[in-house]
Chains A and B, each alone.
Chain A
């Protein structure tokens, strides 16, 4: 809108002084550079997708790969041992490769869900406290501390989970396998709490001051104001925060690789081991013969992860835009 207005103004004033013209030129150059940078980002994204998709495409074009890893073998149960019922099995290194992706999807969902169930309340409550209740000085300590958590390399978190948290969980709950979806999910939540916290905090502080003032003037307590006015007003932003956290959790590799046990099994129990899509790529990419069906299969997993995160980010963006629109609309 603003840009159009500027162009219109320039159009009705054709005679410009030389300094104004120079300034205009400079503006154009700067705008051009910024646009070029933005498109470099887009180009990188597209090129990565094209590369990953190209490597995965062999799965559908190459006859050997089509036979070894057809869609039905990926998504339908297969008889893996004579005389046994058909099951979902991921064992691509085998005389007869088994390439069912169902156990990997289940493992990914399990660890992601655990991490969300833990991280969303912690992140949102923390942000609400920081934004609405914390004294200024405490807030100035709290915010950077939680954001610092985002700076811890995930391999360090993974090591901590593997050595400390897993043993603690086993000693406390006597689960049958030390490394499981629950432990990995808890480790993941450490990584995504800062994401949810930061974005939620931004959404809460973006709620116009007039809302709070009106609520307090009507006699509501600060707690009622925070819970019934500020939180609902920021709800779309909080949802965007959760979706971003979900995206991070689904793609996080190192923590799940170290803490989940990596057994590709179909099971609903959270205390069973789980193997995730990202950990599978990380664990198996080192060995595969370039161009083999197994290689294409791993890239196909990459495409799936890419699509998941892509869609999730789009959803998050839509929500963020909506909350901004709503808040600025209400403020005007």
Chain B
């Protein structure tokens, strides 16, 4: 017991100065990116044990407002920075945020594995999320109400779907909003009439819908997302207050290196290069 406490104390002594050091880089934001950000950070720290990276989620908006307030070094975002946010940032730093696309992602619509449908058109998805279609039988499924899952409005994915699927119109009020893509996946996995959306990397235990264009059903596959053929592909970004330098630059160089991009593929996203 005593040795345990002693080792715990020495561990704390080792960790505390490290955490308090100025060399710590904090990365914060998008819940879509956080699993990838953590993997990048882990691998990078293995190679560069002197650099400390702290990666936390919270949502794209959370990361960007932390960047504006100066409480994080790097913001992760699954959507481009808004003009209002850039104005707020440049009011403090005199320059616009530095934007770096770090990976590609396809926003995927999930249904329960028991669902017979494989593909829907973009218009059908839009009507479901607008609340104009409320029964699966209207899109060729069984006679059952559609249970619509959405994300909190602090999510970048929420904004992406609103802009690209709903064409700027409002979600149906009966869409249930859940905190985090993992919660949406979990809900759809348990709800046989459910539909949800999120990053492709999270799609485990559920079925990914293809998007029907004319006769062709386009799957959210790597080739389709990289080429932009899949209609709902998007870039994922890191934002900084200024041009990256020092350890931050080394980290970004690693992310954009073939090795870093390979890791993105491994986690379930797609390379930007």
Contact residues of A with B, CB < 8 Å?
Answer: 80-81, 87, 89-95, 98, 103, 167, 170, 176-179, 257-258, 261-265, 272-273, 275, 283-284, 286-290
Contact = CB atoms under 8 A, between A and B. Distances in A.
Given A91-B171, A179-B176, A290-B65, A284 B187 contact: no
A289 B170 contact: no
B178 A178 contact: no
Given A81-B169, A287-B62, A287-B154, A263 B176 contact: yes
A275 B174 CA distance: 10
Given A263-B175, A273-B176, A283-B179, A289 B84 contact: yes
B177 A262 contact: yes
Contact of B176 (A90, A94, A261, A286): A261
A89 B173 contact: yes
B32 interface: no
Contacts of B170: 80-81, 89, 91, 94, 98
A100 to B, nearest CB: 10
Contacts of B145: 176
B190 interface: yes
28 contacts: A87-B173, A89-B173, A90-B173, A93-B153, A93-B158, A98-B170, A176-B147, A178-B147, A178-B194, A179-B187, A262-B177, A263-B173, A263-B175, A263-B176, A272-B174, A283-B152, A283-B177, A283-B179, A284-B153, A284-B154, A286-B59, A286-B65, A287-B59, A287-B61, A287-B62, A287-B152, A289-B65, A290-B65
Nearest to A166: B190
B154 A286 contact: yes
Contacts of A176: 145, 147, 193
B191 interface: yes
A257 B177 CA distance: 9
B63 to A, nearest CB: 10
Nearest to B193: A176
Nearest to B168: A95
Interface string B166-204: 001111011111110000000100110110000000000
A168 B195 CA distance: 20
Contacts of B176: 177, 179, 261-263, 273
A170 B194 CA distance: 13
A176 B149 CA distance: 13
A90 B152 CA distance: 12
Contacts, number: 85
Contacts of B118: none
Given A93-B158, A178-B191, A284-B153, A103 B61 contact: no
Given A94-B170, A262-B178, A167 B62 contact: no
Contacts of A94: 170
Contacts of A81: 169-170
Contacts of A177: 147, 176, 191
Contacts of A95: 168
A92 B173 contact: no
A213 to B, nearest CB: 54
B127 interface: no
User: What is the size category of the interface that chain B forms with chain A?
Assistant: 20 to 34
A90 B168 CA distance: 16
A286 B61 contact: yes
Nearest to B178: A262
B179 A265 contact: no
A265 B168 contact: no
Contacts of A284: 152-154
B88 interface: yes
Contacts of A98: 170
Contacts of B235: none
Contacts of B193: 176
B257 to A, nearest CB: 32
Contacts of A93: 153, 158-159, 162
B222 interface: no
Interface string B138-173: 000000010100001110001100100000111101
Nearest to A103: B173
Interface string B200-221: 0000000000000000000000
Given A95-B168, A283-B177, A283-B179, 6 more contacts: A91-B171, A92-B153, A98-B170, A177-B191, A263-B175, A286-B62
Contacts of A178: 147, 187, 190-191, 194
B85 interface: yes
A98 B172 CA distance: 12
Contacts of B159: 93
